[in-house]
Structure 1
Amino acid sequence: MKTLLPTSTAGSLPKPSWLAEPEKLWSPWKLQNEILIDGKQDALRVSLQEQKQAGIDIVSDGEQTRQHFVTTFIEHLDGVDFEKREIVKIRDRYDASVPTVVGPVSRPHSVFVNDAKFLRAQTNQDIKWALPGPMTMVDTLYDDHYKSRKDLAWEFAKILNQEAKELEAAGVDIIQFDEPAFNVFFDEVNEWGIACLERAIEGLNCETVVHICYGYGIKANTDWKETLGSEWRQYEEVFPKLQQSNIDIISLECHNSHVPLELLELVRGKKIMVGAIDVATNEIETPEEVASTLREALKYVDADKLYPCTNCGMAPLPREVARGKLQALSAGADIVRKELAA
């Protein structure tokens, strides 16, 4: 029997200090060669164990084997030159030095499939695997070849579909596409972003998620949030079309955000991963705070379609904080489960 309100994380979890510098995005590896492969697998085992101990239902690799949620995938593709770098504004928020698309993009071999097989061998629980979404990939590069965001995104969608099919064959139950860009480029999302996402999930039988958040708890993102006013209605722009899409689950940011939860009515019928854990603070939520967010969401989401989750990835947080937040998520979901059962 399926668990009611199954909990999961939106993506990354902190890496052990022996693998990479803690509390930092894009942190360089401390190990090399064969030892690095062993170290990544050990970190994945630890991350899985911490999720299990916290009572998380749908587990992941915690993104232990990758430095960054977008660029690690892109590093394995042909047509992108990481030596040739340009400064671009990512998500219309902050400047970053990014690699350049210099020719046709292709995937010469699978990227995460061996890691997914390793995770699958460690657990009988449902596993979720995150991939970058096509639009967010485009937004993390300088394009000197296609000269069209839409054309490049379409090529990435085809590549992601190849990877997703192999992940499904490796035993992944849920494949998530991270699209923070969907909260920024509304016209593009509706014109071609969702179509590209549907190309990426074509032919899959496993469940699919689009994760749309307001970003990691880094300064560039928290500063941007300060400019958004008392109501964050960005989801309103993309939800109507997502409601009509083939994506199974929509993952969004709720706790400590200014997202009016009534916007969830726009995607009624979809499964919703409700972000009930704030990743932009070291303060650990109480189970009751988590329960309160979930109760509010239940006004707009049927109980059998609500999946308690974190707002975003937790890579930049201290490990003990992330651990406490996972436990709070689990305990908060349990409170609401008991209420629903009664």
Structure 2
Amino acid sequence: MVASSILGFPRIGGQRELKKTTESYWQGKVDVEALLAQGKQLRETNWKLQKAAGVEIIPSNDFSYYDQVLDLSLLFNVIPTRYTKYNLAPIDVLFAMGRGLQRKATDSTPAVDVTALEMVKWFDSNYHYVRPTFSHSTEFKLNTEAGLKPVVEYLEAKALGIETRPVLLGPISYLYLGKSDKDSLDLEPISLLEKILPVYEEILSKLKEAGATQVQIDEPILVLDLPESIQSKYKATYDQFTSNAALPELVLTTYFGDVRPNLSAIKDLSVAGYHFDFVRVPEQFEEVVEILNEKQTLSVGIVDGRNIWKTNYSKAAAFVEKAIAKLGKDRVVVSTSSSLLHTPVDLANEKKLDATIKDWFSFATQKLDEVVVLTKNARGDDVAKELEANAASIKSRQESPITTNPKVQERLATINESLSTRKSNFETRLPSQQAKYNLPLFPTTTIGSFPQTKDIRINRNKFAKGELSAEDYEAFINKEIETVVRFQEEIGLDVLVHGEPERNDMVQYFGEQLEGYAFTTNGWVQSYGSRYVRPPIVVGDVSRPKAMTVKESVYAQSITSKPMKGMLTGPVTCLRWSFPRDDVSGRVQALQLGLALRDEVNDLEAAGVTVIQVDEPAIREGLPLRAGKERSDYLNWAAQSFRVATSGVEDSTQIHSHFCYSDLDPNHIKALDADVVSIEFSKKDDPNYIQEFSNYPNHIGLGLFDIHSPRIPSKEEFVTRIEEILKVYPANKFWVNPDCGLKTRGWPEVRESLTNMVEAAKEFRGKY
């Protein structure tokens, strides 16, 4: 009969339990036993929830204290030597690789100072993974000191009476998504495949010994443009696995895109089955089903693992029936398109959502029910009530006036080339900006936010609950702004920011002030490590009813003679870091946001705030995974939406933008025509990365310290970093700044890090 499955479940807990315990552990407030106990409790809760919902194929090893790819690096001993010399406990090695570690020596422990590994986006999602880093000295082996996590968690579930299917990232994807260490740049990670396969076989055999009959092995890179040298590795690799009787059955899993260009690479494998994402690419069905032999199963990814809209049962059921007609009921599995890691935990936790809008949504817990209902329907069970209720929800959304604003649509039709082009080119704009701001060589600035202290969070919550008047809250915010401004003046920064104390999140803050958005109170999703976000939801056409940031920016500018940046989040990032509509194209949504932000940019300029930063860290994230027309179209409308937002200003107004934690292409950034861009750079240890930006025509700041790490770089470290950059990048175009905003850091480390950064910039002014 048709079976039900999911590929993974959120690990954060319905009330962010993992975040709270992990951060308490980092702060020394709880011990490692408490941290491990919290993880075990969350796993048990998730497994029991899935079992109670009726899901039959339940994943294990989808839990992580930081990142599932980093877990694999720890398991396989892919640990650069800089982390091994301190004799840290395995969990601390994990966290040091993920976020860096710096601590002073004590009577019983030596000093530790180590930077984090590089962190980048997981395909086109807003989740970040820690990139494996390989060298010629990498020795693959099972790290028994760290515990055999996949086996341990499988046995945990088994002890609860729950049979699970362990999840592993496949060897080809693991290597391909990694990189060579700076001392081994001539090493191609895929060349290590033969060395890592025995270790995969070892962990797979241990899973079979523990009782696992089947393992979900993820090869998500199959939706990328893979060279033949990578495609050619699949046949021999998986034949080696499937010919080994000591290993469990494997289900080869892909998601997030179209596998067809790589289909020949996985044809004729002796795996037990395949999983494909038919939410993102339903049209690949006819071709992918042809590679199955008469015994292999097809896992039909038909419930969206990336968005929060209810599954349209009518359409999804028809798709499942198509699969059954082709393969028979015994060979079809109904599943989520991807792991549910990318969705909030439970819609039941939302007590304040408008009932009409709430009825359109489905979070991870509700998606379990969707998978089960579709499975029951395929079996012929009576689910008429569920189908009827679902049809009513779908119809309600389609017919709702909430989704449509004729004025927004009329304005959208006015967009043309002149509306998205600055009055003059950069070479013409630059002299007027230099005359206006009179900045020194190596101008220093920050990316926007300053520490979000406990006091800020308490007062924001009081104001939200009505326990603090608007006047008192504004006075509090102004006091926080003045503190930040005076600090920046004190240490000698050149272009200042107001610190954003009034903002909860760089997208949510704007979404709450725009029409066309809905918001959750507990819709948290993991972005990386213990950093969770609460994405707003685009439910209708977007517009700006009133100014959003002008008051705070004007106040900040009024108390300093130095240039003050107005801080905005760009249209593509507002879209990508929200849950977007699935009934309107991304282009339409981005351009609507561009128009709303254009009004804000123009209002800032009119109010005297003439350095304006419009951040677009998600522009690379939104890039379609394969080259072709879809990608070129995206790049055109993504850049256009930014220029729509920023092109209505005078030449002397300086437009900045910021990008981080992605593999960026200078040409994508060049198309925005921002005067100054800042790019996360501190974890990039490949000198070729600087070279890529050497011919960037406008001004650029390559980030000099990792704001996700608690460590404090010395002045000498900043000097060394800048020296390396200046071997490639011209001094008269280079800005000095951190990787990203500072909201997650504490004031002592911010004060010392920024002071050291400014002092390094002053040293280079003396040299040049």
Structure 2 length-normalised TM = 0.39
Show the counterpart of 2:649: 204
Cα 1:19–1:244 change in 2 (3 A) is closer
- Give the AA of the match of 1:130: M
How far, CA to CA, are the matches of 2:535 and 2:584 in structure 1? 16
Are residue 252 (structure 1) and residue 689 (structure 2) matched?
A: no
Equivalence map 1:209-288=2 (5 Å): 209-214=656-661, 234-235=663-664, 238-258=665-685, 260-267=689-696, 269-288=697-716
- How many residues end up aligned between the 2 structures? 313
Show the counterpart of 2:536: 99
Show the counterpart of 1:132: 569
- Secondary structure at the aligned position of 2:483 is classed as helix
**Contact between 1:8 and 1:56, CA under 8 Å: does it hold in 2?**
yes
Moved more, 255-264 or 162-171: 255-264
How far, CA to CA, are the matches of 2:613 and 2:583 in structure 1? 26
Cα 1:257–1:102 change in 2 (3 A) is same
How far, CA to CA, are the matches of 2:583 and 2:522 in structure 1? 16
How far, CA to CA, are the matches of 1:244 and 1:95 in structure 2? 31
Q: CA deviation at 1:145?
A: 7.2
- Give the AA of the match of 1:291: V
- Give the AA of the match of 2:456: L
Show the counterpart of 1:227: none
- Give the AA of the match of 1:318: G
**Contact between 1:44 and 1:65, CA under 8 Å: does it hold in 2?**
no
Match of 2:735 among 307, 310, 321: 307
Show the counterpart of 1:223: none
Equivalence map 1:102-113=2 (5 Å): 102-113=539-550
Are residue 122 (structure 1) and residue 559 (structure 2) matched?
A: yes
- Give the AA of the match of 1:303: A
How far, CA to CA, are the matches of 1:333 and 1:95 in structure 2? 33
Cα 1:129–1:83 change in 2 (3 A) is same
**Contact between 1:131 and 1:178, CA under 8 Å: does it hold in 2?**
yes
Show the counterpart of 2:300: none
- Give the AA of the match of 2:659: I
- Give the AA of the match of 1:261: I
- Secondary structure at the aligned position of 1:52 is classed as helix
Show the counterpart of 1:190: 635
Q: CA deviation at 1:279?
A: 0.6
Cα 1:29–1:87 change in 2 (3 A) is closer
Cα 1:288–1:85 change in 2 (3 A) is closer
Cα 1:292–1:125 change in 2 (3 A) is same
Once the two structures are superposed, residues 303-327 of structure 1 have per-residue CA deviations (whole angstroms, 9 ceiling, x without a partner) of 2211101100111111111111110
Q: CA deviation at 1:42?
A: 0.5
Show the counterpart of 1:4: 441
Q: Unpaired segments of 5 or more residues in structure 1?
A: 22-26, 215-231
Q: CA deviation at 1:87?
A: 7.5
How far, CA to CA, are the matches of 1:190 and 1:145 in structure 2? 20
- Give the AA of the match of 2:507: V
**Contact between 2:660 and 2:739, CA under 8 Å: does it hold in 1?**
yes
Q: CA deviation at 1:84?
A: 9.4
When you count strand as a share of all residues, which structure comes out higher?
A: 1
- Give the AA of the match of 2:702: V
How far, CA to CA, are the matches of 1:134 and 1:89 in structure 2? 22
When you count helix as a share of all residues, which structure comes out higher?
A: 2
How far, CA to CA, are the matches of 1:19 and 1:134 in structure 2? 27
Cα 1:44–1:186 change in 2 (3 A) is same
**Contact between 1:85 and 1:99, CA under 8 Å: does it hold in 2?**
no
Cα 1:96–1:334 change in 2 (3 A) is closer
- Give the AA of the match of 1:101: V
Show the counterpart of 1:173: 610
Moved more, 272-281 or 240-249: 240-249
- Give the AA of the match of 1:264: F
How far, CA to CA, are the matches of 1:20 and 1:241 in structure 2? 36
**Contact between 2:576 and 2:622, CA under 8 Å: does it hold in 1?**
no
- Give the AA of the match of 2:641: C
Q: CA deviation at 1:330?
A: 0.4
Q: CA deviation at 1:244?
A: 4.5
- Cα RMSD (Å): 2.5
Q: Unpaired segments of 5 or more residues in structure 2?
A: 1-437, 625-630
Q: CA deviation at 1:266?
A: 4.5
Q: CA deviation at 1:29?
A: 3.5
Cα 1:198–1:146 change in 2 (3 A) is farther
How far, CA to CA, are the matches of 2:649 and 2:583 in structure 1? 27
Show the counterpart of 1:333: 761
Show the counterpart of 2:452: 15
**Contact between 1:102 and 1:145, CA under 8 Å: does it hold in 2?**
no
- Secondary structure at the aligned position of 1:208 is classed as strand
Q: CA deviation at 1:162?
A: 0.5
- Secondary structure at the aligned position of 1:250 is classed as strand
Show the counterpart of 1:318: 746
Q: CA deviation at 1:95?
A: 7.9
**Contact between 1:99 and 1:141, CA under 8 Å: does it hold in 2?**
yes
Structure 1 length-normalised TM = 0.84
Q: CA deviation at 1:67?
A: 1.3
Once the two structures are superposed, residues 45-72 of structure 1 have per-residue CA deviations (whole angstroms, 9 ceiling, x without a partner) of 0011111112111001011221111111
How far, CA to CA, are the matches of 1:124 and 1:3 in structure 2? 15
- Secondary structure at the aligned position of 2:449 is classed as coil
Once the two structures are superposed, residues 189-209 of structure 1 have per-residue CA deviations (whole angstroms, 9 ceiling, x without a partner) of 524211211111122121112
Match of 1:53 among 469, 490, 493: 490
Cα 1:146–1:7 change in 2 (3 A) is farther
Cα 1:284–1:97 change in 2 (3 A) is closer
**Contact between 2:450 and 2:742, CA under 8 Å: does it hold in 1?**
yes
Moved more, 56-65 or 179-188: 179-188
- Secondary structure at the aligned position of 2:541 is classed as strand
**Contact between 1:277 and 1:311, CA under 8 Å: does it hold in 2?**
yes
How far, CA to CA, are the matches of 2:757 and 2:515 in structure 1? 40
- Give the AA of the match of 2:454: S
- Give the AA of the match of 1:304: N
Cα 1:273–1:30 change in 2 (3 A) is farther
Q: CA deviation at 1:186?
A: 2.7
Cα 1:116–1:95 change in 2 (3 A) is closer
**Contact between 1:277 and 1:310, CA under 8 Å: does it hold in 2?**
yes
**Contact between 1:146 and 1:152, CA under 8 Å: does it hold in 2?**
no
Q: CA deviation at 1:141?
A: 2.0
**Contact between 1:255 and 1:275, CA under 8 Å: does it hold in 2?**
yes
- Give the AA of the match of 1:339: K
Moved more, 146-155 or 314-323: 146-155
- Give the AA of the match of 2:645: A
How far, CA to CA, are the matches of 1:95 and 1:321 in structure 2? 22
